[in-house]
Amino acid sequence: MNIFKLLYKFNIIRFLKKDNHANYIFGTFDLLMLLLTYQISYRLFNPAGFTFFFLDKEFFLLFSLVLPSWILILHICNVARIPRTSRYSRLFFEFMQFTVLSVAVLFLIQLILKFDSVTANFIFVLSFMSMILLYCLRIIEFKIFKLYRANGYNYINLVIIADGSSELFIEKLLEQKDWGYRILMIMTDSKLLKAKFSGRIKVMPEKSLFSLKNLLEFDIVDEVIYYKRKMHQPNVKQLIKSCEEIGVVFRINSDISPVLISTGYASQIWTTSFLSFVNIPDDSFGIAWKNLMDVFLSFFFILVLSPFMLIIVVIIRISSPGPVVFKQARVGLRGRQFYLYKFRTMVVNAEALRKQLEAQNEMDGPAFKIKNDPRITPIGRILRKTGLDELPQLFNVLNGEMSLIGPRPPLKSETLQYKRWQLRRLSVKPGITCSWQIIPGRNDIEFENWMKLDLAYIDNWSPKLDFMLLIKTIRTVLFGTGA
């Protein structure tokens, strides 16, 4: 039996479907490799010392300080992710960058704290061993992930606007299934491309570009690639605008991109260089920090709050019949659906009763809210006022479906009623809390202003903003000002 079919049967592949899950697992291997490297280096330079470095005060403190730096540097140098099309030589160069920055950080810590036992030789050997062992580990992971993607998992949905010059590029994307690119559609007037690919991919004439706007709204499209010998500037400008409106990545082969649209960032797929545009945060350091904090803080909160959550479980169980946790399909990053978890705050048949209450909806737009909703249980009213009903979503964060801070995930029925500009709130991972959740009397805010708050968060995002929103959310929970 195919190994991946076996893993799918036992529900392991479903857990690994997203980049986040696989990256967490491979990230754990990275940490174990760094731990092993540090231990080996310690024994090489301290043969008469303690058996394990964590028994040595100075070396343990150095490891505690440098480990978070290593994790951030791995993200900054782009070696924390599993690449799709990178060559081994490029990977090695990126790990060399990691080594140089690691040496600098280690020497900086040594300069500040002046450890007696930590020598320059130890730092150089530790950094060199880390580079070699992590590089070898990444090559192994790279090969494993190529097999993983070749079996149809962890793919990126593409629409390609093309002419005859892109034939080899498209053929390569189709052949290299281990790169994980799925071409949804080719838009072209090339007879060559139509004849070659129409049997395998949906091919539409380029004059139907106007329909791409609708496709981006209603289908799960991650990227639009413009690969032609020549470009039509008005079309490209409009395409960039259409993609940026809803946060879809737009790439144009850099050979034909003029100065007037040179504001994108450089990227590469196979041997082709692109200028890429996306109207969402592109701060690699900040995003690395956000991902790290999502995992660390969600795990920390689950650990610390587990006794309190257990008390809530018991109270819900005693106070009303039905399941303790409410599971509901929501829309996440770029239209992907997932199940959101909350403590149940309503009666069991709440969804069926909603139809009878539609006329009493106090929110404008597609959202549904009633201040004195008769479906809410007494304990549910307290949980909602304090925001404690959202605590199970910490598991959604650990699962990679949500972030701690981000726009709230909507229902599919709501997104179908969104105006085009409102779809951009789906261009980032949804969160447990955001600007709207911390405003007193949030249910009195008009729907359009709510959407504008979410887009303002996306446009002004920074780790500092996330930190401030997290602190304000904790205050909202403690003082119950979120109703």
- 61-66: long-range pairs with CB below 8 Å, 24+: 61/113, 61/115, 62/106, 62/109, 62/110, 62/113, 62/115, 62/118, 63/38, 65/109, 66/102, 66/105, 66/106, 66/109
Considering the domain architecture, whether residues 39 and 107 belong to the same structural domain is answered as yes
Average pLDDT over residues 229-241: 83
Please state the rounded mean pLDDT for residues 449-458. Answer: 90
Give the per-residue pLDDT at 13: 46
Last residue of a domain, one of 254, 277, 300: 277
Looking at the structure of the chain, the number of domains it has is: 3
**In this structure, are 209 and 298 located in the same domain?**
no
Q: What is the DSSP letter of 272?
A: E
Indicate whether 318 and 420 sit together in one domain.
yes
196 and 327 part of one domain: no
Q: Taking 70 as the threshold, does the pLDDT of residue 368 lie above it?
A: yes
| Together in a domain, 465 and 432 | yes
pLDDT of residue 168: 94
CB atoms inside a 10 Å sphere around CB 214: 10
Tell me the CA distances in angstroms from 97 to 67, 78, 93, 136, 378, one per residue in order.
Answer: 17, 10, 6, 16, 57
Question: What's the pLDDT band for 138 if we cut at 50, 70, 90?
Answer: confident
**Collapsing DSSP states into helix, strand and coil, what is residue 171?**
helix
CA distance 297 to 271: 39
Rounded to an integer, the average pLDDT of 225-247 is: 85
Contact by Cβ (8 Å): 436, 408? yes
Q: Which residues sit opposite 277 in a β-bridge? A: 250
The reply to whether 298 and 174 lie within a common domain is: no
- How would residue 389 be classed by pLDDT, with cut points 50, 70 and 90? very high
Q: Could you tell me which residues come within 8 angstroms of residue 472 by beta carbon, excluding any fewer than 6 positions away?
A: 438
Mean pLDDT value across residues 448-473? 89
**Which residues neighbour 128 within 8 Å (Cβ) at sequence distance 6 or greater?**
99
Same structural domain for residues 146 and 160? no
Stretch 70-80: mean pLDDT: 78
* CA separation for the pair 470, 432 (Å, rounded): 10
Mean pLDDT lowest among 251-255, 340-344, 392-396, 479-483: 479-483
> Can you give the length of the chain in residues?
483
Q: What backbone torsions phi and psi does residue 407 show, to the nearest 5 degrees? A: -55, 140
**Nearest to 76, CA basis, from 291, 276, 248, 262:** 291
- Beta-bridged to residue 159, according to DSSP, are 185, 224
Using the predicted structure, report yes or no on whether residue 32 has a pLDDT greater than 70: yes
Q: Where does 278-378 show beta strands of DSSP type E? A: 325-331, 337-343
Q: Is 233 exposed, middle or buried (0-12, 13-18, 19+ CB in 10 A)?
A: exposed
Sorting pLDDT into bands at 50, 70 and 90, what band is 386?
confident
Both 134 and 166 in one domain: the answer is no
Largest CA distance in the chain: 79
Q: What are phi and psi of 199, to 5 degrees?
A: -80, -20
Q: pLDDT category, 24, cuts 50, 70, 90?
A: low
- Report the pLDDT averaged over residues 378-390: 88
Whether 227 and 300 map to the same domain: the answer is no
Boundary-marking domain end, from 244, 277, 310: 277
DSSP annotation of 436 reads G
Chain centroid to CA 4: how far? 24
pTM of the model: 0.65
Beta-carbon count within 10 A of 207 CB: 9
Give 188: exposed, middle or buried? Use CB within 10 Å, 0-12, 13-18, 19+.
Answer: buried
The contacts of residue 87 (CB under 8 Å, 6+ apart) are: none
pLDDT at residue 348, rounded to an integer: 85
Assess whether 238 and 318 both reside in one domain: no
Q: Which domain holds residue 174?
A: 156-277
Question: CA angle 87-90-96, nearest 5°?
Answer: 145
Q: Residue range 77-103: average pLDDT?
A: 82
Q: What is the token pair recorded at 329?
A: 């399909």
Q: What is the CATH number of the domain that holds 209?
A: 3.40.50.1980
Shared-domain flag, residues 316 and 457: yes
Question: Of all residues in the chain, what percent carry a pLDDT higher than 90?
Answer: 36
366 and 447 Cβ atoms separated by less than 8 Å: yes
Side-chain-facing half-sphere of 424: CA atoms under 13 Å: 23
On the question of pLDDT at 192 being above 90, the answer is yes
Q: How large is the average pLDDT for residues 68-96?
A: 79
Lowest mean pLDDT among 51-60, 176-185, 291-300: 291-300
Q: Is 264 left (phi over 0), alpha (psi -120 to 50) or beta?
A: beta
Shared domain for 121 and 63, answered yes or no, is yes
- Domain end (from 109, 131, 150): 150
Q: Which of 149-158, 290-299, 391-400 has the highest mean pLDDT?
A: 391-400
Q: How far, rounded to the nearest angstrom, does the alpha carbon of residue 287 sit from its chain's CA centroid?
A: 9
Euclidean distance between CA atoms 138 and 126, whole angstroms: 18
